Amino acid sequence: MATIGLDKLYYATITDDENGEEIYGTPTQMAKAISAELSVELAEATLYADDGAAEIVKEFKNGTISLGVDDIGSSTAAALTGVTVDKNNVMVSNSEDGGDPVAVGFRAKKSNGKYKYYWLYRVKFGIPATNLATKGDSITFSTPTIEGTVLRRNKPDTSGKHPWKAEVTEGDKDVPASVISSWYAEVYEPDYTV
């Protein structure tokens, strides 16, 4: 079903434990969402045998997320890109900046009024793009866009795999209401228990 909206854009900081596996902080609202564009790159290999394709393997390699937002405040910019905020709350960008990866969550409204929820488990953001224009005969809003590389997480889930994304549609059969109601309380952890 088609989506007709986008909102509730959150991020969660990531710290690594002694094994290099992710520990997610409490989700924090990033900004008001304008757009989100996710593209995925696959690693692909084909084994040929007996004059034809015998096996084909396609695995997630990485992805790119481009987020259009209303504004990125200084604390969010510091968490996402590593910029420094000085004692006067001025953001200072340095050539050595490079923020730590974060988890990113958001939801998209569907035409039936329900939502599709997402968590991207590990995103490394670059410096936000800025587009500015002078005010002419009409008013045009200029908003920042921030692009990040989506990676699989280091921490395996309970099935031993390394997820890169979780998504669920509100109202789908057998989806517990608690999954939806707690989506932004913490980064979703896959549950394969029976």
pLDDT of residue 134: 75
C-alpha 79/C-alpha 56 separation (Å) is: 40
Q: Note whether residue 188 is domain-resident.
A: no
24: exposed, middle or buried (Cβ count in 10 Å: 0-12, 13-18, 19+) = buried
Q: Note whether residue 191 is domain-resident.
A: no
- Is residue 190 within 8 Å of residue 160, measured between CB atoms? no
pTM: 0.84
C-alpha 170/C-alpha 1 separation (Å) is: 12
Q: Note whether residue 109 is domain-resident.
A: yes
**Mean of the per-residue pLDDT values for the chain?**
88
Q: Note whether residue 194 is domain-resident.
A: no
Q: Which domain holds residue 76?
A: 7-133+140-181
Q: Note whether residue 189 is domain-resident.
A: no
Statement: residue 1 has pLDDT above 70:
no
Q: Note whether residue 187 is domain-resident.
A: no
The structural domain count of the chain equals 1
150: exposed, middle or buried (Cβ count in 10 Å: 0-12, 13-18, 19+) = buried
